[in-house]
């Protein structure tokens, strides 16, 4: 159920900001990688 809600929220953001869903997915992926690297260090290990 949570996954469906997340998809709906991200779809709504994409519509509101006029951003393609694939572009939003890329942005979110980069954001998560940035946060993980900031918290735990370089992602290469």
* Tens place of pLDDT per residue across the chain (45 aa): 678 998 899 889 999 999 998 898 899 899 999 999 999 997 565
Determine the pLDDT at residue 21.
85
pLDDT of residue 2: 79
Query: What does the pLDDT read at residue 37?
Result: 94
19 backbone φψ class: left, alpha, beta (φ>0; ψ -120 to 50): beta
Question: What's the pLDDT score for residue 45?
Answer: 53
- DSSP 8-state symbol, 1: -
**Confidence (pLDDT) at 17:** 92
pTM of the entire predicted model: 0.65
């Amino acid at each position: 159920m949570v996954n469906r809600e997340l998809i709906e929220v991200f779809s709504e953001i994409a519509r509101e900001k006029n951003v393609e869903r694939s572009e939003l997915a890329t942005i979110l992926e980069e954001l998560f990688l940035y946060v993980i690297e900031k918290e735990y260090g370089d992602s290469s290990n």
